[in-house]
């Protein structure tokens, strides 16, 4: 969770870059997929023609992740959560997260963004809405936008609207990589992790290091994502519909890939099983970012050296 004190004092570190809001929303849906209650439908109508903004990727993803998670937690079985985007006002993109859950009492609408305020209607299962919404408001306003809430009352669902200033498409070209990120620039990673908080933290940390990261929360999602090649696969071992060892065997049956097991299990038996299954490295949670990036760089260096040996002609 972001530090609320730093947010409210305007001291939160921001690293803005050009972002595709639609891509951020699609990733949030994937991240929250395993936390979606059974029977709750998700509908996306991302219709805004202009949907690029200048924002901190980790902060913006955290805001939408909080909104979608809150919607899931307040929506009962057979309910629906809808995401919509539009350009109702020139130069701004509007994103709406709407649910058919317990709703918000009229008196709570003006107070729901206050720190630690928990006035959501019955049916909400989170127990910690106030802090997340307070932070979301501060982050969105720090980006020159605004966030509002609306509801017809108890039992009528809720609608959260985020508005952000857009940037011209010409500005949305990828910036030149910084000198310190040359090792990670262009390296694609498939992260397979079913715990939303862990997936969010690891993926955003790697993105800030310059890696191109896609996230899958299950074996099925990973196999679908893996139709496109990745340089490195980082996988948890226990997944909701299988395990990382069997998954890697399936991935490697299609093409060779460098792989790192990232797991809470670190016994000699666990490490040996991973190596026998084809994982190049085994890291035990919690793992420092420096350790993870160093491991990725080592794998890529070995892969590059192997490629050079294959293409370098022999003398004589």
Q: What is the CATH number of the domain that holds 297?
A: 3.40.50.2300
| CATH number, position 102 | 3.30.565.10
Domain match, 137 and 244 both:
no
Domain match, 159 and 207 both:
no
In this predicted structure, the answer to whether residue 167 has a pLDDT above a threshold of 70 is: yes
Domain match, 268 and 199 both:
yes
Q: Please give the average per-residue pLDDT across 188-195, as a whole number.
A: 91
CA distances from 161 to 129, 192, 200, 226, 280 (A): 16, 30, 22, 34, 45
**Cα(90)–Cα(118) distance, rounded to whole angstroms?**
34
pTM for this predicted structure: 0.59
DSSP, res 229:
-
Tens-place pLDDT, residues 230-264? 899 999 998 999 999 999 988 887 778 899 998 88
| Predicted local distance difference test score (pLDDT) of residue 284 | 85
Among 135, 150, 171, where does a domain finish? 171
Among 140, 171, 202, where does a domain finish? 171
Domain match, 90 and 167 both:
yes
Domain match, 39 and 146 both:
yes
Q: Domain for residue 316, yes or no?
A: no
Domain match, 121 and 203 both:
no
Give the position of tokens 């690891």.
202
| Predicted local distance difference test score (pLDDT) of residue 189 | 93
Range of the domain at 266: 179-311
Domain match, 66 and 20 both:
yes
In this predicted structure, the answer to whether residue 308 has a pLDDT above a threshold of 80 is: no
Domain match, 101 and 202 both:
no
- The residues near 272 (Cβ < 8 Å, ≥ 6 apart) are none
Which phi-psi region, left, alpha or beta, contains residue 242 (left: φ > 0; alpha: ψ -120 to 50)?
Answer: left
Q: How confident is the model at residue 122 (pLDDT cuts 50, 70, 90)?
A: very low
Strand ranges, E, within 89-174: 92-99, 146-150, 158-165
In this predicted structure, the answer to whether residue 48 has a pLDDT above a threshold of 90 is: yes
The DSSP code sequence of 95-110 is EEEEE-SS---HHHHT
Backbone angles phi, psi at 193, to 5 degrees: -150, 125
**Cα(24)–Cα(64) distance, rounded to whole angstroms?**
8
Domain match, 197 and 256 both:
yes
Into how many domains does the chain fold?
A: 2
Domain match, 18 and 146 both:
yes
Q: Please give the average per-residue pLDDT across 44-53, as a whole number.
A: 94
H or E, element range at 122: none
| Predicted local distance difference test score (pLDDT) of residue 77 | 85
Q: How confident is the model at residue 128 (pLDDT cuts 50, 70, 90)?
A: very low
Domain match, 214 and 149 both:
no
């Amino acid at each position: 969770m972001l530090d609320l004190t730093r947010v409210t004092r305007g001291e939160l570190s921001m690293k803005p870059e050009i972002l595709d809001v639609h891509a951020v929303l699609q990733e949030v849906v994937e991240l929250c997929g395993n936390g979606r209650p059974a029977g709750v439908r998700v509908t996306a109508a991302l219709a805004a023609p202009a949907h690029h903004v200048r924002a901190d990727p980790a902060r913006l993803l955290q805001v939408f992740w909080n909104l979608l998670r809150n919607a899931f937690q307040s929506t009962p079985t057979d309910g629906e959560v809808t995401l919509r985007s539009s350009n109702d006002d020139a130069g701004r993109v509007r994103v709406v997260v709407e649910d058919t859950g317990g709703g918000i009492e009229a008196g709570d609408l003006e107070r729901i963004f206050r720190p630690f305020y928990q006035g959501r209607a019955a049916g909400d299962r989170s127990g910690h809405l106030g802090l997340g919404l307070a932070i979301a408001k501060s982050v969105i306003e720090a980006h020159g936008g605004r966030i509002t809430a609306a509801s017809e009352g108890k039992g009528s669902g809720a609608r959260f609207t985020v508005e952000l200033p857009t940037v011209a498409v010409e500005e949305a070209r990828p910036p030149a990589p910084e000198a310190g990120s040359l090792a990670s620039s262009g390296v694609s990673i498939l992260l397979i992790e079913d715990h939303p908080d862990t997936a969010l933290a690891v993926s955003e940390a790697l993105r800030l290091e310059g890696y191109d990261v896609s996230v899958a929360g299950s074996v099925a999602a990973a196999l679908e994502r893996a139709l496109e090649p990745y340089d490195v696969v980082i996988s948890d071992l226990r997944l909701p519909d299988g395990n990382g060892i069997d998954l890697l065997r399936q991935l490697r049956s299609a093409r060779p890939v460098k792989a790192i097991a990232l797991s809470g299990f670190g016994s000699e038996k666990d490490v040996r099983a991973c190596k026998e299954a084809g994982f190049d490295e085994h890291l035990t949670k919690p793992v420092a970012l420096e350790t993870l990036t160093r491991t990725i760089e080592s794998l890529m260096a070995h892969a590059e050296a192997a490629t050079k040996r294959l293409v370098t002609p022999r003398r004589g």
